[in-house]
């Protein structure tokens, strides 16, 4: 029999959870099949406005509010929906009871705070990848989604991509590749990491709240490059590893039916762009998945090399896939590659539609928050190894790096 203290603790825990859930649900509307979903946009930069364009394209949503620390971006969002209210502080946007769901597209260092606040406010959440800046943030976001019974889709849109789903079914699920022992991934020359701040940002604009941009990150004076090209600084993002590898490693997890490596090691550095960046411009990551297979990621911003893709290597053949097409080559001598072009489409739109459908059916979306957390976690293992310059063994169940 549980002790009184135990029983009391359990009661307080469940009462607390019920209270959180109740306060959240009391703000949430039950959506009918024909209801339009009222959306708030938090982080109205390039991606935020791009994905919001997809939301509006569905015809199933209204953009009713936009939040950004830089008012210029709110102005741009309001061009998409002139009636939308503007906010600088996401907490004020979340107080709007008419908002059903939010799209979070801030830089990565704000994802967890904003997502947890939104879920606790009873909003369904579409949050851009990588879900987290730090490994330990993940379980807290998953818990906020579950306790509040909210839908939380992570922006790893390949999960909704028809040609990914098709290739997996045809070649992986049917065992055509045989035993897969190696997955190679790469993403070179991604221009997002080379953004140059425009001259208009040389001095801090009066309509940009730099302190609020920094938020949880330690203070530094205004630096236009850190604001504009935040991906290149490990305080705000995780460089190419969390930005790009997270996409590909999520496809690896989807295809291989797994969700966590058991060890990781990485090496790289700032070799080409001595512009003050702290994220490497060239990186190699090697992840081990138990006794089953290894997965590698390589990326450089060196101007001489471009392109991105994934290659699954099996005993009976190999499968290449990228955002446009896939190609199967049998291991038999002289076999010709079989190429299949994906439809000419933006599968982010399908990911958005899947989210909206789940807001109504209350089903788990294609890239549920837990899946997004586990894929970000694999990337973090790479970055931690890069920073600590050592191989890390990992316990996927406890989500802990094992002592040496």
Binding site for ligand NAD (CB under 6 A): 42-48, 67-70, 73, 90, 105-108, 110, 128-129, 155, 157, 212-213, 215, 243
Q: Among residues 63 and 392, whose Cβ is nearest to ligand NAD?
A: 63
Cβ contacts of 379 within 8 Å, gap of 6 or more: 130, 238, 241, 242, 245, 246, 249
Burial 261-287 (b: 16+ CB within 10 A, else e): bbbbbbebebeebeeebebbbbbbbbb
Chain position whose Cβ is nearest to ligand NAD:
45
Nearer to ligand NAD by Cβ, of 69 and 116: the residue is 69
Minimum distance between the CB of residue 55 and ligand NAD, rounded to whole angstroms? 14
Q: How far is the CB of 395 from ligand NAD (least distance, A)?
A: 27
Residues 6+ apart with CB under 8 A from 59: none
The conformation of residue 166, written as its DSSP 8-state character, comes to: H
In the complex with ligand NAD, the residue whose CB is nearer, 218 or 389, is 218
Beta bridge partners of 330: 317
Q: Rank residues 243 and 293 by Cβ distance to ligand NAD and give the closer one.
A: 243
Q: Please say which residue, 251 or 392, places its beta carbon nearer to ligand NAD.
A: 251
Whether the bond into 130 is cis, omega within 30 of 0? yes
Cβ 39 to ligand NAD shortest distance, Å: 15
User: In the complex, what is the shortest distance from the CB of residue 78 to ligand NAD, in angstroms, rounded to a whole number?
Assistant: 14
Residue 73's SS3 state is: helix
Nearest-approach distance from CB 156 to ligand NAD, in angstroms: 7
Smaller CB distance to ligand NAD: residue 61 or 242?
242
Paired strand residues for 295: 183, 287
Smallest gap from residue 201 Cβ to ligand NAD (A): 11
> Cβ(280)–Cβ(231) under 8 Å?
no
């Amino acid at each position: 029999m549980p002790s009184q203290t135990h029983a009391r603790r359990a009661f307080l825990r469940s009462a607390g959870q019920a209270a959180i859930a109740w306060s959240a649900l009391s703000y949430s509307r039950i959506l009918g099949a024909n209801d339009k979903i009222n959306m708030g946009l938090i982080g109205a930069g390039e991606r935020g406005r791009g994905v919001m364009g997809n939301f509006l394209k569905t015809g199933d949503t209204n953009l009713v509010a936009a939040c950004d620390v830089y008012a210029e971006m709110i102005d741009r969002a309001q061009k998409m929906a002139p009636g939308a209210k503007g906010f600088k502080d996401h907490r004020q946007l979340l107080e709007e009871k008419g908002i059903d769901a939010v799209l979070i597209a801030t830089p990565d260092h704000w994802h967890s705070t904003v997502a947890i606040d939104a879920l606790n406010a009873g909003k369904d959440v579409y949050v851009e990848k990588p879900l987290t800046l730090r490994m330990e943030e993940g379980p807290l976001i998953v818990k906020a989604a579950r306790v509040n019974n909210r839908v939380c889709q992570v922006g790893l849109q390949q999960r909704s991509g028809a040609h990914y789903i098709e290739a997996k079914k045809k070649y992986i699920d049917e065992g055509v590749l045989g035993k897969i022992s190696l997955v190679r991934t790469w993403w070179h020359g991604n221009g997002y990491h080379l953004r140059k701040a425009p001259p208009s940002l040389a001095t801090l604009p009066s309509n940009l709240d730099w302190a609020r941009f920094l938020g949880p990150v330690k203070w530094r004076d205004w630096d236009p490059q850190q604001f504009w090209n935040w991906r290149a600084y490990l305080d705000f993002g995780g460089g190419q590893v969390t930005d790009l590898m997270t996409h590909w490693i999520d496809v690896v997890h989807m295809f291989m039916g797994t969700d966590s490596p058991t060890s990781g090691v990485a090496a790289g550095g700032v070799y080409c762009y001595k512009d003050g960046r702290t994220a490497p411009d060239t990186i190699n990551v090697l992840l081990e998945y138990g006794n089953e297979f290894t997965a590698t990621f390589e990326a450089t911003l060196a101007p001489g090399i471009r392109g991105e893709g994934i290659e699954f290597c099996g005993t009976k053949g190999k499968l290449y896939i990228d955002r446009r097409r896939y190609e199967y080559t049998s291991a038999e001598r002289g076999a010709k590659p079989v190429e299949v072009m994906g439809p000419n489409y933006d599968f982010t739109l399908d990911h958005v539609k899947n989210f909206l459908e789940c807001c109504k059916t209350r089903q788990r979306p294609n890239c549920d928050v837990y899946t997004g957390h586990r894929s970000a976690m694999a990337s973090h293992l790479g970055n931690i190894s890069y920073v600590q310059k050592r191989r890390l063994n990992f316990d996927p169940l406890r989500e802990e790096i094992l002592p040496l």
